[in-house]
Amino acid sequence: MPKKRRMVILTEGQLNVFRAKTAVSVMRYLPQEVCCVLDGVATGQHLPSLVGVGEGIPIVATLREALKFKPNTLLIGIAPVGGKLPAAWRRTLVRAMAAGLDIISGLHHFVGEDPVLARAAKKHRRRIWDVRSVPDEMECSKNVAKDLKCKRVLTVGTDANMGKMSVSLELTAEARRRGWDAEFIATGQTGMIISGAGICIDRTISDFTNGAIEREVVNRKRREILFIEGQGSIGHPAYSAVSLGLLHGCAPDGMILVHCPTRKVTTSVETPIAPLPLMVELHEKLAGLLCPSKVVGIALNTFGMKDAGARKAVAKAERETRLPASDVFRYGCGKLMDALEKHYRKKG
Amino acid sequence: MPKKRRMVILTEGQLNVFRAKTAVSVMRYLPQEVCCVLDGVATGQHLPSLVGVGEGIPIVATLREALKFKPNTLLIGIAPVGGKLPAAWRRTLVRAMAAGLDIISGLHHFVGEDPVLARAAKKHRRRIWDVRSVPDEMECSKNVAKDLKCKRVLTVGTDANMGKMSVSLELTAEARRRGWDAEFIATGQTGMIISGAGICIDRTISDFTNGAIEREVVNRKRREILFIEGQGSIGHPAYSAVSLGLLHGCAPDGMILVHCPTRKVTTSVETPIAPLPLMVELHEKLAGLLCPSKVVGIALNTFGMKDAGARKAVAKAERETRLPASDVFRYGCGKLMDALEKHYRKKG
């Protein structure tokens, strides 16, 4: 990818906060890299009113209009229904490459394996980055992360899809503001597009899941502190393999447990969410099989709650776990970063 | 595969109990399906003296000699060094297919994707079964195994490579002897060759690991009791993703914890093995996030210990866990099957 990306985000008719999760997160965390959104249906509308972010970013109807903003990259910001690439999109992508744009895609269906698009990329010497594709050469974990000098903070959760990526990004920014040499490690497609690196951990072969995140950590061992994006939950019926592989592969010495107080059952596959104290205990005992680890604080996602309710939820979480709790978007990261700094001072 | 297999096992120079694990297990559990072993180096030697099993099975030097036993299948019983198929083997496999034999391979490198061998299979209308290959069409778990009527017994372990497959096979046989409609579910290559079905769970994409074993269980829901082959350990630094995916995907209502008293650190990646009571507790709590489950007994692998030492180890495990313990090879399966029957009578 070019050093300085200038992205057109293609959302073609699916620009809402649920379907366009990647587009929304990229606009939140990298607004300076987004030139415009390409969406024939939403043209002319006000992005913040539609999705809560994107102030000042225009929505255009055609690639020709988008090119006026001198982009160098086209990001596919959504997943087409059925997972296949619609013919109209293929034409847009070919024309974008002909106009000098690289392509970034988080689709399950790899754009680089589409013969037409692969040929166009070769012809126009453009790069296609299929974010979900993982390297062929994988290895089993050698259990070395635990011995690294860098501190490793993993966000874990009581469920999937609750904001673990955002909490890790916010903590990374807060740590940097406080003078730490901090880096975020992405483990999912959106985090990877935002940070430009990482591994899509849920696409790895299960035998190599632990090893895949270990490699990411080892590659950044010279940092002072790493914030690793968590995935799923050890209590989620569908994703627990991913979550435990991540937990053991990066061997965190500190964990932040993310929880959504309004959610009673896990997402997509409904199972009762275990009480916070049990989730704290299980994470500490499982991580502890490899190296001593501690849940240092609770990050609550109080989205949609009124302020009084949110404050009550924070107090309840603190009472139940005897750990500091906060919502990093509502109240900022200070409390959790304070807790992490205290934890590491104590650890030495 | 033909209904009744008559196998030549190719071990070519690697016929020992460590390298030829697949060959040895197949001879132990399916001696009636093995015609001969093809190994130019070990020709004429006595199999039981070499690997502890295989009484009455001849070792021959050439495919021509092997064909005298009227085989219909050639099983590759080992992994070549480096993972690639040596040219000499390729010739043997082509000649075997020309002579009417199907091929079974547990290699990482898929035989069916070798152009020469794929062509030969087509020409001679032979089947190549790459046991490690997993279906493309995978799904996330829907958390339905817990609601099935069939009982589900998973072997779990304090480490990898301790005999979980064998314990599951022995318990399946014992349950059948007692009149249960029991089936074994293989989750690794050797178990799959022995049972003719299953899924190589450590080759699945981590997002689909839980779902892959769930499908195997659902497909056998009409059985009275299923014995699911465990893999790795939730405490193994490299394989824990596989182990938790398996645990949650099959949602066992009974578990047998396999342990090797002489082993102090995990295999291949050395980490201290946690005490038995902690492993019992963690398995029950993790499984319990989805549905109530219990470790019902401890299966010790006392291989290489003297009888007095083995008896002491059994007594120690029982004292520590307050659960019945045994070595199913040394003392038979009765005690553990008694414990399972008692558990299910209590559960109703």
pLDDT in tens, B108-119: 788 999 999 999
**Yes or no, beta carbons of B210 and A268 under 8 Å apart:** no
Question: What distance in Å separates the CA atoms of residue B313 and residue B301, rounded to the nearest whole number?
Answer: 10
Looking at CA atoms only, how far is residue A322 from chain B in angstroms?
A: 21
Under a CB-based contact definition with an 8 Å cutoff, are residues A240 and B249 in contact? no
> Which parts of chain B sit beneath pLDDT 50?
none
Each residue of A89-117: pLDDT tens digit?
Answer: 899 999 999 999 999 998 878 899 999 99
Which of A143, A202, A286 lies at the smallest CB-CB distance from B269?
A143
Q: Does A203 touch chain B (CB under 8 A)?
A: yes
CA-to-CA separations, B197 to B5, B138, B217, B275, B289, in angstroms, rounded:
14, 17, 12, 34, 29
Q: Does B207 touch chain A (CB under 8 A)?
A: yes
Measuring CA to CA, which residue among B155, B154, B152, B331 is closest to residue B259?
A: B155
Q: Does B314 touch chain A (CB under 8 A)?
A: no
Looking at CA atoms only, how far is residue A282 from chain B in angstroms?
A: 8
Looking at CA atoms only, how far is residue A187 from chain B in angstroms?
A: 13
Nearest CA in chain A to B250: A237
| Sign, CA torsion A284/A214/A269/A304 | positive
Number of neighbouring beta carbons within 10 Å of residue B337: 24
Q: Which residue carries 């000499």 as its tokens?
A: B88
Measuring CA to CA, which residue among A189, A124, A348, A179 is closest to residue A253?
A: A348
The answer to whether ipTM exceeds 0.95 is: no
Residues contacting B53, CB < 8 A, separation 6+: B24, B27, B28, B31, B47
Give the largest CA-CA distance in chain A: 62
Tokens of A304: 């949609």
A contact test, residue of B289, B291, B293 with most A CBs within 10 A? B289
Where do the domains of chain B lie? 7-130, 145-347
B contact test, residue of A289, A291, A293 with most B CBs within 10 A? A289
**Yes or no, beta carbons of A268 and B140 under 8 Å apart:** yes
**What percent of chain A is modeled with pLDDT above 90?**
84
Q: Sheet containing B151-157: which strands, arranged edge to edge?
A: B182-185, B225-228, B151-157, B254-259, B295-300, B325-326
Q: Does B204 touch chain A (CB under 8 A)?
A: yes
**Yes or no, beta carbons of A207 and B202 under 8 Å apart:** yes
Phi-psi group of B83: left, alpha or beta (phi > 0 → left; psi -120 to 50 → alpha; rest → beta): left
Residues contacting B91, CB < 8 A, separation 6+: none
Under a CB-based contact definition with an 8 Å cutoff, are residues A59 and A226 in contact? no
3-class secondary-structure state, position B10: strand
| Sign, CA torsion A169/A171/A172/A174 | positive
Q: Which residue type is seen at A86?
A: P
Q: Which residue carries 């401890």 as its tokens?
A: B298
Looking at CA atoms only, how far is residue B209 from chain A in angstroms?
A: 7
State mean pLDDT over A296-313: 96
**What percent of chain A is modeled with pLDDT above 70?**
97
Which of A209, A247, A285 lies at the smallest CB-CB distance from B282?
A285
**Yes or no, beta carbons of B207 and A242 under 8 Å apart:** yes
Total-model pTM = 0.93
To the nearest whole number, what is the mean pLDDT of chain A? 94
Interface of A with B in 70-89 (CB under 8 A): none
Residues of chain B neighbouring A187 (CB-CB closer than 8 A)? none
Please state the φ and ψ torsions of residue B149, each to the nearest 5 degrees.
-75, -30
**Yes or no, beta carbons of A248 and B237 under 8 Å apart:** yes
Number of residues written out for chain A? 348
Question: What distance in Å separates the CA atoms of residue B128 and residue B118, rounded to the nearest whole number?
Answer: 8
Q: What does CATH list as the number for A145-347? A: 3.40.50.300
**Yes or no, beta carbons of B143 and A238 under 8 Å apart:** yes
Tokens of B339: 């414990």
Q: Do domains B7-130 and B145-347 have the same CATH topology?
A: yes
| pLDDT tops 60 at residue A62 | yes
Tokens of B337: 């099957």
Residues contacting A337, CB < 8 A, separation 6+: A171, A174, A175, A178
| pLDDT tops 80 at residue A136 | no
Residues contacting B45, CB < 8 A, separation 6+: B59
Looking at CA atoms only, how far is residue B58 from chain A in angstroms?
A: 36
| Sign, CA torsion A278/A280/A284/A287 | positive
Q: What does CATH list as the number for A7-130? A: 3.40.50.720
Please state the φ and ψ torsions of residue B221, each to the nearest 5 degrees.
-65, -15
pLDDT recorded at residue A3: 65
Interface of B with A in 218-237 (CB under 8 A): 234-235, 237
Q: DSSP string of B50-96?
A: HHS--TT--EESSHHHHHTT--SEEEE-S--TTSSPPHHHHHHHHHH
**Yes or no, beta carbons of A240 and B210 under 8 Å apart:** yes
Of A6-15, A52-61, A162-171, B8-17, which range is least confident?
B8-17
**Yes or no, beta carbons of B278 and A268 under 8 Å apart:** no
State mean pLDDT over A77-88: 74
Looking at CA atoms only, how far is residue A204 from chain B in angstroms?
A: 5
3-class secondary-structure state, position A118: helix
Of A155-164, A292-301, B74-83, B116-125, which range is least confident?
B74-83
Q: DSSP string of A4-47?
A: S--EEEE-TT--STTTTHHHHHHHHH-GGGEEEEE-TTTTT--H
